[in-house]
């Protein structure tokens, strides 16, 4: 199974933590500054968690998010790690019998800090271009400057208030106050500042000018332009002024000029890194593995939609699938296998009683994965056929009549995975029925179309 299955599953629960109420101004910053960088899907995920958090943030499963956003669990995980990387979310995990998460939302940086940050400002610039960048930056400029000729005459605290030595005791300490901890992101702290200092004399660059904020900007610029300490020495020398002062804007300007002179006149672009997954999470090698990965990551509503060639499923079918997951606690992947099995066996008729009878059996057998559900469906196939016949007297009568006449009984249509009992052996047993072979090809074609859409 893929690494995603180890990172996040639809049945995993989560709670939302808002450090304090967010404002409409935060929404503007998220939409105009962050959305171009993380995309509309991650933004919708953030706004959904925001709304749920304001409503109380009760514990829920990721399956509910899949239904709300209409995306598979893989895309929810992708949105989550983007929000974490950009500094809009912190994730806390607790393992055990039932894995759970706490999602703490962080507000966006204010415009001044955002545009001073060399990575975020360059990331936004590379996404929307110079014209749009200038327009959105000007939108957040302070338009109410203090006119010339005015001086501040505000009183200080000690001008107005004086201490009174009364015997009233001391206020009790409270640690959990609301705090506006803006969404700052983290980078790898591997820049060699010791080597940087070796090439800078104390007369030209005093040690005192390398403050914490200056060091942070130097590390970010080194990451952005892929430079080491030797290149950053030259940038610092270009940025420092005659009064031995080093400003953040001066550093960014010097880095830009040095890059144009030595590398290229166009600014570097920031893109999302694609890390190589371990061998166990490689692309599926067989159709069986491909189908299992699809069933483990898709929601039951998506499976119903795919089986119906993209048409929206009826509310009754969706309600039945949701009932199995939410009320009865079945894993969404198991429900997906059950839906495929029943629909293809009953000529696309989702009979509630028949579904619930099989579901009850799988719950008692503690089936939790798609592969376990497939294996059990193969083992108990004859029993499920009897249940279907018992639940449909006319069907049973027809089968008996055909048997008495000695005529062959028409073989039931079954999912393609039913015949792939051994993943190691690619030559799976082939059904004799021509209609069944056609149905298999249709199912595989739908899966191929699903993958082609990027799901």
Would you say 444 and 287 are in contact if contact means Cβ atoms under 8 Å apart?
Answer: yes
**Model pTM?**
0.63
> With 70 as the cut, is the pLDDT of residue 168 above it?
no
Please give, one letter per residue, the 3-state secondary structure of 34-78: HHHHHHHHHHHHHHHHHHHHHCCCCCEEHHHHHHHHCCCHHHHHH
Q: What is the pLDDT of residues 316-361, one digit of tens each?
A: 888 888 888 877 888 888 888 888 888 877 777 788 888 888 888 8
> With 90 as the cut, is the pLDDT of residue 92 above it?
yes
Would you say 111 and 30 are in contact if contact means Cβ atoms under 8 Å apart?
Answer: no
Q: Does residue 401 or residue 91 have the better pLDDT?
A: 91
What confidence tier does 431 reach under pLDDT thresholds 50, 70, 90?
very low
Dist CA 218 CA 197 (whole Å): 12
Residue 429 confidence (pLDDT): 44
User: Taking residues 250-275, what's their average pLDDT?
Assistant: 74
Phi, psi of 281 (to 5 degrees): -105, 20
Residue 302: which of 76, 62, 70 has the closest Cα? 70
- Element at 15 (helix H, strand E): strand 13-17
Q: What is the pLDDT of residues 351-397, one digit of tens each?
A: 888 888 888 888 888 888 888 888 888 888 778 777 777 665 444 44
How many other C-beta atoms lie within 10 A of the C-beta of residue 222?
A: 22
Residue 45: which of 88, 86, 76, 74 has the closest Cα? 76
- Whose structure tokens read 């030209």? 204
The contacts of residue 310 (CB under 8 Å, 6+ apart) are none
């Amino acid at each position: 199974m893929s690494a995603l299955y180890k990172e996040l599953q639809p049945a995993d629960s989560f709670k939302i933590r808002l450090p304090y109420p967010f404002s409409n101004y935060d929404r503007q910053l998220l939409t105009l500054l962050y959305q171009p960088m993380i995309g509309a899907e991650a933004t919708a995920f953030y706004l959904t968690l925001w709304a749920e958090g304001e409503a109380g943030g009760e514990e829920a499963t990721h399956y509910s998010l899949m239904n709300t956003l209409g995306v598979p669990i893989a895309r929810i995980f992708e949105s989550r790690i983007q929000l974490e990387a950009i500094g809009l979310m912190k994730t806390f995990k607790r393992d055990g019998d039932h894995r759970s998460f706490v999602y703490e939302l962080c507000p966006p940086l204010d415009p001044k800090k955002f545009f001073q940050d060399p990575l975020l400002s360059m990331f936004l610039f590379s996404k929307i271009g110079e014209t749009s960048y200038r327009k959105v930056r000007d939108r957040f400029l302070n338009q109410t400057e203090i006119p010339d000729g005015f001086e501040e005459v505000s009183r200080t605290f000690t001008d107005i208030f004086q201490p009174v030595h009364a015997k009233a005791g001391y206020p009790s300490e409270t640690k959990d106050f609301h705090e506006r901890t803006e969404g700052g992101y983290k980078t790898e702290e591997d820049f060699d500042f010791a080597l940087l200092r070796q090439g800078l004399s104390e007369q030209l660059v005093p040690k005192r000018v390398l403050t914490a904020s200056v060091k942070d900007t130097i590390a970010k610029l080194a990451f952005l332009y892929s430079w080491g300490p030797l290149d950053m020495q030259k940038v610092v020398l270009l940025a420092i002024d005659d009064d031995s002062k080093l400003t953040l804007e001066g550093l960014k300007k010097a880095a830009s000029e040095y890059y144009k002179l030595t590398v290229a006149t166009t600014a570097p672009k920031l893109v999302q890194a694609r890390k190589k997954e371990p061998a166990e999470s490689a692309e599926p090698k067989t159709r069986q593995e491909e189908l299992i990965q699809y069933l483990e990551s898709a929601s039951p509503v998506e499976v119903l939609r795919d089986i119906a060639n993209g048409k929206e499923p009826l509310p009754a079918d969706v309600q039945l699938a949701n009932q199995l997951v939410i009320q009865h606690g079945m894993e969404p992947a198991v429900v997906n296998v059950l839906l495929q099995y029943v629909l293809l066996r009953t000529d696309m008729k989702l009979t509630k009683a028949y579904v619930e009878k099989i579901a009850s059996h799988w719950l008692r057998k503690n089936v939790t994965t798609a592969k376990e559900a497939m294996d059990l469906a193969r083992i108990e196939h004859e029993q499920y056929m009897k249940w279907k016949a018992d639940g449909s007297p006319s069907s049973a009568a027809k089968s008996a009549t055909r048997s008495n006449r000695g005529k062959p009984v028409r073989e039931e249509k079954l999912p393609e995975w039913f015949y792939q009992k051994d993943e190691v052996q690619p030559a799976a047993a082939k059904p004799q029925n021509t209609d069944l072979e056609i149905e298999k090809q249709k199912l595989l074609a739908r899966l191929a179309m699903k993958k082609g859409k990027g799901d």
